[in-house]
Amino acid sequence: MIGGLKAEFSNKEYADKLESLADSDQVVVPSEGCFSDLLHDRTLSAIQSLGYEWVWVGDEFGTERKLFWIEDLRGQDTKATAGHCNIFTPDKQLLWTTHWDSHFSFLCSSERNLLALQKAYGFEGFFATPLTEVYWSVHA
């Protein structure tokens, strides 16, 4: 729907059907480059489960940030985490961020933290390695 896929992987018919279902049946369309509304509070709870009570919420460019109680960000319609932003712990041991033009987010931390969160919260994903590539407007 957003035109972020290479032509050989795109499917206009599926995109049109998804848009139709969103309009007619109130199907939630994945958010592009933003935190998923369906995972927002769950991820913040996961961060709290590691012992954190505060997080920094920074803008997409890393030029501004504001400290928030995690509890104040959960369960509310807050603008603090809307749009393209980064959430990180005061000790910089955990980062939750999004990828523009994509429908996923990154949860970056130690392997121990990530395994604990995966076990407790059932998060889906994979562990990146130095060979992992992500298209972020760096490829021709």
**pLDDT tens for each residue of the chain, 140 residues long:** 666 667 787 788 988 888 888 888 877 777 777 888 888 899 999 999 999 999 999 988 889 999 999 999 987 667 888 878 899 999 999 999 987 777 788 899 999 999 999 999 988 888 888 888 776 555 55
- DSSP classification of residue 16: H
CA 108/CA 111 separation, integer angstroms: 9
CA 116/CA 120 separation, integer angstroms: 6
